[in-house]
Chain A
Amino acid sequence: MKQLRILLAMALLVLTSGNMFASSHREAPITALDRSADVTDWYAFVSYDHPDRVTMILNVDPLLEPANGPNYFPFDPNVLYEMKIDNNRDGVEDITFQFRFKTEIRAPGVFTGFVGGIFGIPPITALNGPGSEGLSLRQTYTVTMIKNGKVTDLTGGNTLYAVPSNVGPLTMPSYNSLFNQGVYSLADKVRVFAGTVDDPFYIDLGAAFDSLNFRMGVGGILSPQVDADDTHNYAPDSVAGYNVNTIVLEVPISMLTSDGKLHGPGEKEAVIGTYGATSRPKVLVRRTNASAAAFQQVNREGNSLINELIIGTGSKDKFSTDDPKNDGQFAAFFLDPLLAHLFNSVLGIPVPPPPRLDLLPLVQYMPPICPGCGPNDAGPIADLLRLNTGIPPTPVGKQKRLGFLVGDVAGFPNGRRPIDDVVDIASRAVAGILVDSVKYGAPIGDGVNINENGYGTSFPYVMPANSGRNSHHVGPGQDGCSGQPNGICPVN
């Protein structure tokens, strides 16, 4: 969801990035200065095919143009990528998974990062060994777990390769096979994947940020027919055809809970709070003798949209660099979101008066996500994506894009799956649907109901990267809205 911040970014401020956007708009806060550390989305859910495991997805570096050679968008070796889990409701992480990347340039004389099928170099069909000769730019990574102060290397002697972007069919004739080679099974039922993939996020950014100027007859307030449609798009998905860098990790629930056991949905121990974060080494202009190992957080995401839609612009950077446990300082934004007033004035719908205590379950441990939590279990206000690990996954095919709002309780805001339509869900939550689903239940939506590339049904749950040669984006007036006549996306 942070893509929208980037889309707002003026090219002026985008540093040494491969971003193809030169569109002039206001500049977003400084995340625009650091693409590779920009957390775009954070997901956590009980694995569809393994109800005893949790999958977490950390997406970084937004709106990657698949055709943007020659080097595409590697992970940043200076960034520490982290997944953090609170399991005792104090808002502080108890378990941290860390990912560190290294870049090797195997053929420094070659003009591009990836080559194959020409110059006598075989097509790229493998991440290592024969068939990998054309992978000049290659990245490896390590996985580390920190739990109770103990550091465990989960890499376990494996060499883990990040999956490169999909250059095109001549260079990478069986890209899906490369994608599959990037799935690694480590010890203790841990699986991991890292690489460039199709961005699973979907939204009509242009309309949303033109002051909620949703496409007429479609967005704003959805018709019952459009609202009920979980398989077609009625407005252009601004993210369609773009890639993102992802790290996907699956671990047993027993590795995450405070007592190492599985719990039923009614037990508070079943609920964890999660977030993804990026950090960089802390730098002082004048060097000191102190340890140089200190890291400083650059960005984080718990609940999608909190930073983008709720936190005031002047505080976004402070929010990004601070810890969730200190989010009480932003309580005023949660309890009286400006967006609710916008909905009221622009869409003309009623919204509940502040203080919006109904939004607290997003930032505290309480029902309905944590039915087992009493008044003393709420913990501090903290933007964590809360997941009740005791709620079994909804089988593929029965999952609903509106998740929790329509009874698919394994969906957002109980964790978040790639299929969950966080734009529509969060908009409705802000408009007050949790207070009174009739009075404040207007079906707000952008008309983008699916990710056109679909969703993975098993680990790593993301879809292979869009082809640099053969993919395209979707815009107003263009093909790409399967719910509209002839598939043409509306302009107005």
Chain B
Amino acid sequence: MKKIVAFMLTILGAVSVFAQTAATTSILSPAQLSIARAQQLIDKNPKDFEAYNALALALARRAREISDPTFYTQGEQALDKSFAISPANYDGARIQVWLLLGKHDFASALEAATKLNKRVPDDVMVYGFLTDSNVELGNYSAAENAAQWMLNLRPGNLPGLTRAAYLRELFGDPEGAAELMKMALDSTPPGEAEDRAWITTQIAHLKLATGKTSEAEELLQQALAAFPGYHYALRNLGKVREQQKRYDEAVALFQQRYEAAPHAENLFDLAEALQMAGRTAEAKTAFTQFETKSLAETNRADNSNHELIMYDADYANEPRKALEVARREYARRHDVFTLDCYAWALHVNGQDAEARKQVETALAVGIQDANMLRHAGEISLKLGDRAGAERYLQQAAALNAPDSERARELLAALSLPTSRSPKP
């Protein structure tokens, strides 16, 4: 899910001058162009703190573009200069929160955003920061309040809509989420190719998670037509192919996506697809590469620990390592995905009672996630609660998402029906 956050930041920060990048060709990326512009302003007037702010922001965008966190450090250095010239400047303070979110330091981001919110009470952007940091920390009620404020202050604003949509998804209302994303899409100018592709991909993801695979595929093709090679769309299309059991095509898509965005967690998807495709040796290589890359960032705030936990638990047969990473992550945040990973790590270590408590806390938020429900089912089974297991596994299967397959297999192995007959 961290990609969602990263892109939401992008949307919040879409620097409009590059709105038409799809129509123009430039060797420089949007962020590089912004960096050059800001640098020019600084050269002209070294006392221009706003230029340093612009530089910091541009560096943060560059960090996202090529997934290189050293740009965040450079961004912080630029901000230091801005604050040296103008100690209390508000925009600088906002960009600081931005950098913290970009670095996935959610607790510090929340603290800083809360301070800004006290300083200027009705700044929609700050409510966006409050929403994002609270979502990532698992403070869903606070996140909901902040997102609602965004929508009340400025009806229909795009960052408000996309955040509310994500919350609806977390609260178990994917149709409602898709409705808001569609509204956001309608309000996005046709020229904003990347923004449109991102929103379209999100709608596709929501369709895919609820079994509407062909709709999802169509949307993803639209997104890729609007913004060729778009890595978010490639990822979801890969999931579509997994669902269709066209594993080799899924592998190719995940490969293409990893080339565009070489994050550790993107290797994990690739390795899993290779495994499904029966290409065991290649899968093993990919998993090993993933492990190396993921371990290198495991102590950073911006990490791939969720995937690392799943890798240790399901593929590497290292339950203790899984739990060690999960405890560390759990100490940082209590969002539903972290709770799920923590629960699964507890489960593979035989601590199923605690595991059940954690996964049920996550599911109580409302999210309908096939993997999470399947985990809850397996944990229940281990605890001897066959009825509970059946219920969770059937829910997972009924979603008809790519991850529903494993739940179906489990139900078959247990000789249980994949769906309940409707109640009279």
Task: Tell me, rounded to whole Å, the shortest Cβ–Cβ distance linking B278 to chain A.
Answer: 39
Which of A74-82, A155-163, A203-211, A463-471 participates in binding chain B? A74-82
Known: A16-B192, A317-B122. A30 touches B23 (CB 8 A): no
A243 interface contact, C-beta 8 A:
no
A71 interface contact, C-beta 8 A:
yes
Residues on B with C-beta less than 8 A from A280 are 155-156
Establish whether residues A34 and B151, one from each chain, have CB atoms under 8 Å apart when the complex forms. Answer: no
- Which chain A residue has the least Cβ–Cβ distance from B222? A108
- Which chain A residue has the least Cβ–Cβ distance from B53? A24
Residues on B with C-beta less than 8 A from A17 are 16, 19, 189
Establish whether residues B50 and A25, one from each chain, have CB atoms under 8 Å apart when the complex forms. Answer: yes
Whole-angstrom CA separation of A297 from B155 in the bound complex: 7
Residues on A with C-beta less than 8 A from B19 are 16-19, 68
A435 interface contact, C-beta 8 A:
no
Whole-angstrom CA separation of A19 from B51 in the bound complex: 19
Whole-angstrom CA separation of A37 from B189 in the bound complex: 13
Establish whether residues B155 and A70, one from each chain, have CB atoms under 8 Å apart when the complex forms. Answer: no
Residues on A with C-beta less than 8 A from B95 are 12
B7 interface contact, C-beta 8 A:
no
Residues on B with C-beta less than 8 A from A14 are 14-16
B262 interface contact, C-beta 8 A:
no
A26 interface contact, C-beta 8 A:
yes
Establish whether residues B186 and A78, one from each chain, have CB atoms under 8 Å apart when the complex forms. Answer: yes
Known: A27-B91, A71-B190, A286-B168. A34 touches B154 (CB 8 A): yes
The digit string for A89-127, where 1 denotes a CB below 8 A from any CB of B, is: 000000000000001010000011100000000000000
Provide the main secondary structure of the chain B interface. Answer: helix
A284 interface contact, C-beta 8 A:
yes
Residues on A with C-beta less than 8 A from B144 are 285-286
B292 interface contact, C-beta 8 A:
no
Known: A25-B50, A280-B156, A317-B122. A285 touches B191 (CB 8 A): no
Residues on B with C-beta less than 8 A from A298 are 154-156
B261 interface contact, C-beta 8 A:
no
A12-46 contacts to B (CB < 8 Å): 12-22, 24-27, 29-31, 33-34, 36-37
B14, B153, B183, B195: the one within 8 Å of A78 (CB):
B183
Task: Tell me, rounded to whole Å, the shortest Cβ–Cβ distance linking A321 to chain B.
Answer: 8
Which of B99-107, B159-167, B368-376, B386-394 participates in binding chain A? B159-167
Known: A16-B195, A22-B15, A24-B50. A74 touches B156 (CB 8 A): no
- Which chain A residue has the least Cβ–Cβ distance from B124? A30
B173 interface contact, C-beta 8 A:
yes
Establish whether residues A11 and B17, one from each chain, have CB atoms under 8 Å apart when the complex forms. Answer: yes
Residues on A with C-beta less than 8 A from B171 are 286
Residues on B with C-beta less than 8 A from A72 are 191
Establish whether residues B23 and A111, one from each chain, have CB atoms under 8 Å apart when the complex forms. Answer: yes
Known: A24-B53, A70-B191, A285-B168. A16 touches B156 (CB 8 A): no
B157 interface contact, C-beta 8 A:
yes
Known: A22-B17, A33-B124, A314-B122. A285 touches B148 (CB 8 A): yes
Task: Tell me, rounded to whole Å, the shortest Cβ–Cβ distance linking B117 to chain A.
Answer: 14
Task: Tell me, rounded to whole Å, the shortest Cβ–Cβ distance linking A152 to chain B.
Answer: 26
A281 interface contact, C-beta 8 A:
yes
A11, A283, A297, A321: the one within 8 Å of B164 (CB):
A283
A370 interface contact, C-beta 8 A:
no
Establish whether residues B168 and A287, one from each chain, have CB atoms under 8 Å apart when the complex forms. Answer: yes
Whole-angstrom CA separation of A376 from B53 in the bound complex: 54
Establish whether residues A12 and B164, one from each chain, have CB atoms under 8 Å apart when the complex forms. Answer: no
Establish whether residues A283 and B17, one from each chain, have CB atoms under 8 Å apart when the complex forms. Answer: no
- Which chain A residue has the least Cβ–Cβ distance from B89? A26
B16, B91, B161: the one within 8 Å of A283 (CB):
B161
Task: Tell me, rounded to whole Å, the shortest Cβ–Cβ distance linking B128 to chain A.
Answer: 10
A118-158 contacts to B (CB < 8 Å): 137
A21, A111, A112, A285: the one within 8 Å of B151 (CB):
A285
Whole-angstrom CA separation of A76 from B12 in the bound complex: 19
Query: Considering the complex of A and B, which 5 residue pairs feature the smallest CB-CB distances, nearest first?
Result: A280-B156, A24-B50, A71-B191, A280-B155, A71-B190
Query: Which residues does A use to contact B, with CB under 8 Å?
Result: 10-22, 24-27, 29-31, 33-34, 36-37, 68-74, 76-79, 103, 105, 111-113, 137, 279-287, 296-298, 314, 317, 321
Known: A17-B189, A283-B180, A298-B156. 14 other contacts (CB 8 A): A12-B95, A16-B14, A16-B158, A22-B37, A27-B125, A30-B122, A33-B154, A34-B156, A74-B189, A79-B156, A137-B190, A281-B183, A283-B155, A296-B155
User: Can you sample 10 A-B contacts with CB below 8 Å?
Assistant: A12-B94, A14-B15, A15-B12, A15-B16, A17-B189, A24-B50, A26-B90, A71-B189, A76-B186, A282-B151
